[in-house]
Amino acid sequence: MESMKCPYCGENGNRVVDSRSHSDDGYFKRRRECIRCQKRWNTIEISESEYKKFQKNQALEEKYKKISIMYAKLLKKYKEQREEA
């Protein structure tokens, strides 16, 4: 896993100051501090299993959008054909 870089100075070294688990939603909120510049920032991290679920849901959503568009086109074509008849 790649190290988290400081968004201010780019340093790889940082430490976690505070960590809160949101197990119901499958993510962690972490407060980090850079070792070099001592600036702090927040990160939101999800587990790999939750990320895979997210990717699967995104794929299903894309498939649903495509089907909805196809259905709308077919419905429009059907209505046009009925009006012509």
Q: Domain ranges in the chain?
A: 1-46, 47-85
Q: What does the pLDDT read at residue 53?
A: 80
Please give the Cα distance from 65 to 15 (Å, whole number): 42
CB atoms closer than 10 angstroms to residue 34: 21
Please give the Cα distance from 42 to 53 (Å, whole number): 23
Q: What is the pLDDT of residues 20-54, one digit of tens each?
A: 988 777 788 999 999 999 999 999 888 777 778 87
Q: What is the pLDDT of residues 42-51, one digit of tens each?
A: 998 887 777 7
Q: What does the pLDDT read at residue 60?
A: 79
